[in-house]
């Protein structure tokens, strides 16, 4: 089990880019919260530091007010060390070599500027946002129970009886999940929807559309790297039409890559692109089916 988890973590870091985190729970949580806001701001172009920091102040203060002063100070010290480790300060590296890769140090410096601003304005925190010794963060699932509501849709290829045909479908799903730490979320869900495909040619030479209802019970491993995430999923699946239930049930595996944004109240929007493979064994007069689908999951992460 430990080897399998290590392998999944390695794959996720290769795909999503590994971000080093502080070791302390509170400073790690504050770093992730601020880093996510900075990354999303950078994606629309970061220009003048003072203006950008002030624009992020409200989001940063929501987290910084709940992290105590020692945690904020430890995070600032850690950020100084990280900036040096990745080759910063960015301006000095740029002036030495204009082709130098300064993205990592520049992002860390922006995070540090936002944390410093929040620390300097901590006296303005409202009375109802008090420091917590074990602050777990706002912008992640870490150490909390969450409900993931998602719409799912995709299209691809269905292979049965040696023939391939186009198909696609969609549905909705709810997943109850728990954040193990700042990186890992585990969940189990329920999904219902429909799938359609073009059948064999009829007497007129056309192709009929065959539609069925679908259901699944997915098990989810979500590995998060600040604002990016990778989903690994395995699910038991079933299909039925108005007249019959396809037995025995099938199994589906999927991997997805996506993004999260900052929370709006208790809700955190997510968007994931995925590829899945599903196998339905032969039964009830039907042959085995293989499905390969490309699709998207768009949803909300609700923090209880």
CATH topology classification for 145-303: Porin (2.40.160)
For residue range 46-94, list pLDDT tens digits in order. Answer: 999 999 999 999 999 999 999 999 999 999 999 999 999 999 899 999 9
At 49 the three-state DSSP class reads helix
Residues in the chain, total: 304
For residue range 157-202, list pLDDT tens digits in order. Answer: 988 878 888 888 899 999 999 999 999 999 999 999 998 877 655 5
Closest by CA to 254, choosing from 138, 108, 152, 142, is 152
Tokens 């955190």, located at residue? 268
Distance CA(300)–CA(261), nearest Å, equals 10
User: Could you tell me the residue ranges of all domains in the chain?
Assistant: 19-124, 145-303
- Burial (0-12, 13-18, 19+ Cβ within 10 Å), 192: middle
């Amino acid at each position: 089990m430990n080897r399998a988890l290590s392998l999944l973590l390695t794959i996720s870091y290769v795909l999503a880019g590994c971000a080093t985190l502080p070791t302390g729970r509170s400073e790690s949580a504050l770093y992730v919260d601020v880093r996510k806001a900075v990354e999303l701001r950078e994606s629309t172009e970061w220009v003048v530091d003072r203006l950008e920091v002030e624009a992020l102040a409200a989001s940063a203060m929501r987290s910084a007010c709940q992290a105590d002063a020692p945690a904020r100070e430890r995070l600032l010290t850690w950020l100084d060390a990280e900036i040096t480790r990745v080759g910063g300060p960015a301006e000095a590296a740029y002036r030495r070599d204009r082709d130098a890769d300064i993205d990592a140090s520049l992002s860390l410096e922006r995070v540090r500027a936002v944390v410093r601003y929040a620390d300097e304005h901590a006296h303005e925190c409202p009375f109802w946002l008090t420091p917590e010794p074990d602050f777990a963060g706002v912008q992640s699932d870490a150490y909390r129970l969450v409900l993931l509501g998602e719409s799912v849709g995709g299209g691809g290829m269905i292979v049965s009886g040696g023939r391939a045909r186009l198909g696609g479908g969609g549905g909705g799903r709810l997943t109850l999940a728990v954040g193990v730490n700042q990186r890992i979320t585990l969940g189990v869900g329920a999904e219902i929807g429909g799938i359609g495909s073009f059948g064999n040619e009829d007497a007129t030479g056309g192709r009929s559309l065959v539609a069925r209802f679908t259901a699944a019970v997915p098990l989810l491993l979500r590995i998060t790297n600040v604002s990016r995430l990778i989903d690994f999923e395995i699910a038991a699946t079933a299909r039925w039409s108005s007249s019959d239930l396809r037995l025995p049930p099938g199994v589906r595996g999927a991997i997805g890559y996506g993004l999260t944004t900052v929370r709006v109240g208790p809700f955190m929007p997510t968007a994931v692109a995925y590829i899945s493979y599903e196998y339905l064994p032969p039964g009830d007069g039907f042959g085995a089916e293989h499905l390969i689908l490309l699709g998207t999951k768009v949803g909300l992460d609700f923090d209880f």
